[in-house]
Amino acid sequence: MASGCKIGPSILNSDLASLGAECLWVLDSGADYLHLDASCSSGRSVFYMHMMVSKPEQWVKPMAVAGANQYTFHLEATENPGALIKDTRENGMKVGLAIKPGTSVEYLAPWANQIDMALVMTVEPGFGGQKFMEDMMPKVHWLRTQFPSLDIEVDGRVGSDTVHKCAEAGANMIVSGSAIMRSEDPRSVINLLRNVCSDAAQKRSLDR
C-alpha cells in the first residue's frame, strides 16, 4: 500500500529571508513534509527535494549531505534513470521520479517498481501564474491502477478547489504552495487537503 496521505507545503513560495522560521511554522501547522525546489538545510524536518535542473546527477551527493530525505528528479532531464536511481539510494535517500505535463506516463512505467514516489506535474515547472491542468489526472489514475502501492504526488496549483480531483484520481501526496503559505490559517488548509485525500483513499479501498 502507499504510505498514506501526506501534505507537503512548497517552500518555493516562501520568504527565503526567513526560510527556517517558515519551515517551522508550516510543520507546526501539521505539514507532513517540506517540498523544496531550491535549497535544503539539515534539521529535524523531513525534506523532499524536487530538482528541476538539467543535470540532476551532479546534485545527488550535495543534497544528501544537506540532509534531504528524498531526491526527486525529472525523467526528461537524464539519459540514464536507472543509474541515477541507484546513485540516489546509495547516498541514503528515497527516490522520486517526476514527469512534466508533456511527457507520457508510460515513459515512467519501466521505473515505477524501482522508485518510492512518482510526481505528476499539474503545471509546467518553472513558470508562475499557471492554471491547474486537470487533463493530467488520467496520468495519476493510470499510475494508481497499474501500481497500487506507489506513492503518487501532484504538484502545481493544488489547493482546496482542485485537491478533490487529485485525490479522486489516486494521488496520496499533495504539494501545495500559495494555498498554504498565503493562508491566515494554514492548519485548516492542511487539514482540509489531508481529509479530502484520506476520504478518497478510503473510498478506493472500499470499492476494491
pLDDT by residue for the chain (208 residues), tens only, comes to: 678 999 999 886 556 567 778 888 999 999 999 998 855 444 446 788 999 888 999 999 999 998 889 999 999 999 999 999 999 999 999 999 999 999 999 999 999 999 999 999 999 987 767 999 999 999 999 999 999 999 999 999 999 999 999 999 999 999 999 999 999 999 999 999 999 999 999 999 898 7
The answer to whether residue 1 sits within a structural domain is no
CATH of the domain at 108: 3.20.20.70
| pTM score, whole prediction | 0.93
The count of structural domains within the chain is 1
The answer to whether residue 178 sits within a structural domain is yes
The active-site residue, picked from 32, 116, 151, 155, is 155
Inter-residue contact 146 to 109 (CB < 8 Å): yes
pLDDT confidence of residue 32:
95
Q: What is the pLDDT of residues 150-191, one digit of tens each?
A: 999 999 999 999 999 999 999 999 999 999 999 999 999 999
Which of 51, 55, 25 lies closest to 38, judged by CA? 51
The answer to whether residue 131 sits within a structural domain is yes
pLDDT confidence of residue 15:
61
pLDDT confidence of residue 129:
75
Q: Is 155 a catalytic residue?
A: yes
The answer to whether residue 186 sits within a structural domain is yes
Inter-residue contact 30 to 187 (CB < 8 Å): yes
The active-site residue, picked from 32, 37, 87, 151, is 37
pLDDT confidence of residue 113:
97
- Domain span at residue 118 reads 6-207
CA distance 183 to 188: 9
Q: What is the pLDDT of residues 91-109, one digit of tens each?
A: 999 999 999 999 999 999 9
Residue 129 φ/ψ region, left for φ over 0, alpha for ψ in the -120 to 50 degree band, beta for the rest: left
The answer to whether residue 85 sits within a structural domain is yes
pLDDT confidence of residue 43:
44
